[in-house]
Amino acid sequence: MPERPDIRLTPDEQRAFLRGNRKCALATLDKEGFPHITAMNYVLYDGAFYMTSYGKAQKVLNIRRDPKIAIMVETGSAYAELKGVMARGLCEIAESPDAVNEGFGWMAEQRGEARSPGSARSAPKRVVLKLVPQKAVSWDHSKLGGRY
């Protein structure tokens, strides 16, 4: 039986892919232990994923109870086009408005846009979620070369 091709992204491909995207699916665990999945914007900075959220959001309540999270960034429609990265680890929550403003700044910088005027006003109600991946897996189905 022929060996399956290695479809993992190389470290350089993974960095380029993550910098070229900004939306992920964030998975937390609810109080009954079930996955709670939400769409989030993220920025990758110094090897960590940063997201902002209102401090009273369900995902933040879930993280306060159990900091284990996972995120998935994926693109493509057809099977042969699927490419993605899944990372998991323990989430840290930063609650200071300065940390939130810094996160908003990184996100605007990554998009090449000016910061929204409303972001500074909402900072006192928001938190920053930081994920330093403990494990990451990646895939690029185009590397299958039509063999699936």
CATH for 78: 2.30.110.10
Tokens 């995902």 locate to 59
Residue 62 has pLDDT above 90, yes or no: yes
CA distances from 47 to 14, 18, 19, 95, 123 (A): 11, 10, 11, 20, 24
Residue 2 has pLDDT above 60, yes or no: no
Quote the number of domains for the chain: 1
| Within a domain: 6 | no
pLDDT confidence tier of residue 66, bands split at 50, 70 and 90: very high
Q: Tens digit of pLDDT for each residue in 84-135?
A: 999 999 999 999 888 888 888 888 887 777 767 666 677 789 999 999 999 9
| Within a domain: 1 | no
pLDDT for the residue 109: 81
| Within a domain: 32 | yes
Q: Tens digit of pLDDT for each residue in 6-45?
A: 999 999 999 999 999 999 999 999 999 999 999 999 999 8
| Within a domain: 3 | no
Tokens 């990372």 locate to 87
- pTM over 0.85? The answer is yes
Contact between 29 and 61 (Cβ < 8 Å): no
Note down the domain range covering 124: 11-143
| Within a domain: 73 | yes
